[in-house]
Amino acid sequence: MAGEDGIDAACQPQKCPRIYRRHRPAVHGVLAEAPPVLVMDLTGTVFFSSVAIGVLMDAVLTAGERTCVRVVAARPIRRTLQMLGLDPQFDYFDTTQEALTAPA
């Protein structure tokens, strides 16, 4: 979920709805299969907007208790979520490999 049009994109107002519409169905598609874990890798993120936060929170709300949402992210993103009081919603990891192999 990163890249030119990913949730790390510099979010101009006219671009944000398109980004959200692009990622929300992908997340919902994965969660429809009820996996035990969903890993959201934000390591390439250079701009963390409210749209990105919305995608993460939508994932948590959609996942419910059946799927653990894990976030791979650098300290600045973790700090942003902590400042917003959202950090308890996620399990944080430094690498995708750690997130994928940690016990559920």
Closest C-alpha to 8, from 39, 47, 54: 47
pTM of the model: 0.75
Q: What are phi and psi of 99, to 5 degrees?
A: -65, -40
Residue at 11 is within a domain: no
Q: Is residue 2 within 8 Å of residue 42, measured between CB atoms?
A: yes
Q: Which domain holds residue 23?
A: 16-101
Instruction: Tell me, yes or no, whether 5 lies in a domain.
Output: no
Q: What DSSP designation does 89 have? A: G
Encode pLDDT of 23-73 as tens digits: 778 888 888 999 999 999 888 887 788 888 888 998 999 998 889 999 999
Domain holding 37: CATH number? Answer: 3.30.750.24
Between 88 and 6, name the one with better pLDDT. 88
The backbone torsions φ and ψ at residue 29, rounded to the nearest 5 degrees and listed phi first, read -65, -45
- State residue 43's pLDDT score: 86
Both structure tokens of 9? 């994109």
Q: Is the pLDDT reported for residue 11 higher than 60?
A: no
Q: What is the pLDDT of residue 2?
A: 43
pLDDT at 82: 93
Sheet holding 37-41, edge to edge: 37-41, 68-72, 91-93
Q: Please tell me the total count of domains within the chain.
A: 1
